[in-house]
Amino acid sequence: MGRLDGQVALVTGGASGLGRAIVDRFIKEGARVAVLDRSKERLEELKSFHGANVVGTVGDVRSLSDNEAAVRDCVVAFGKLDCAIGNAGIWDYSTSLADLPADKIDQAFDELFQVNVKGYMLVAKAALPELVRSEGSLIYTVSNAGFYPDGGGPLYTATKHAVVGLVKQLAFEFGPYVRVNGVAPGGIGTDLRGPVSLGMAERSIETIPLADMAGPLIPIGRLPTPEEYTGAYVFFATRGDTVPSTGSVLNYDGGVGARGFASANAGKDLKERFKK
């Protein structure tokens, strides 16, 4: 018996990376899953792997109509929706404010917030009627950057702090019928991309040796795999074990907040850089 037998979930950005790992785990636990993703090819690959247990919708999380289409496709295929997971996101590759090109700040700010925050609001908006009917749950992928610096640049970090606020606000607004929680993973070796506005759309986080860089800096001693992060999503999606849980975010990052500091002043070169 799986922990999610009979449940139906929707995952945004579920055709690759952490999202794909969540889809695989939910199906293994007995759920059926709808996926909203911009890649038709990856959705077809997901469908060929999981068959009738998955339905895919090609779309952009920044579009309310695309989110609504994903919910509609889910209900047509599976009859209901128990859990919506806002997961699609982009990273700014830790671009500091000093390094952000002045002529790109407006576009980059808008793009990061549109995908990472607005996309999460829109899936909640689209899914809310069905989640109220099922008395289900909403789960957001946050990040260690939602709590600590240096998990990204100011743009990414600001979006993830915003998501923490969104979890709390929507838990208030959706209670008592829909539970809203977040999972804050640490570093993950996936195909996470950057913003088009900064020329990073084709850049993958897999090109960075995260395991070598981050592993020694976290208390568990290594970078978890995408699959090892999925248990937290299963936990929040279960009905029996998480009745008291809403408005919470689980720090699920290998112990980032329980380590020492290698450096406390990342701006030590600023005087030299801006010397007249």
Catalogue the active-site residues: 156
Both tokens of residue 90?
A: 């982009």
Q: Give the separation between CA 250 and CA 198, rounded to whole angstroms.
A: 30
Of 80, 107, 105, whose CA–CA distance to 95 is shortest?
105
Q: Give the separation between CA 64 and CA 68, rounded to whole angstroms.
A: 6
Q: Which residue has the tokens 């915003």?
A: 162
Q: What values do phi and psi take at 16, rounded to 5?
A: -155, 165
Q: Give the separation between CA 62 and CA 3, rounded to whole angstroms.
A: 31
Which helix (H) or strand (E) segment is 219 a member of?
A: none
Residue 244's Cα: distance from chain center in Å? 23
Coil, strand, or helix at residue 17? helix
Q: Which residues pair with 249 in a beta bridge?
A: 182
Q: Give the separation between CA 1 and CA 117, rounded to whole angstroms.
A: 35
Answer positive or negative: Cα dihedral of 130, 135, 141, 147. positive
C-alpha dist (Å) from residue 26 to 18, 31, 58, 234, 235: 12, 5, 20, 7, 11
C-alpha dist (Å) from residue 186 to 25, 62, 156, 209, 214: 19, 24, 14, 14, 9
Q: What single string gives the DSSP state of each residue in 178-192?
A: -EEEEEEE----S--
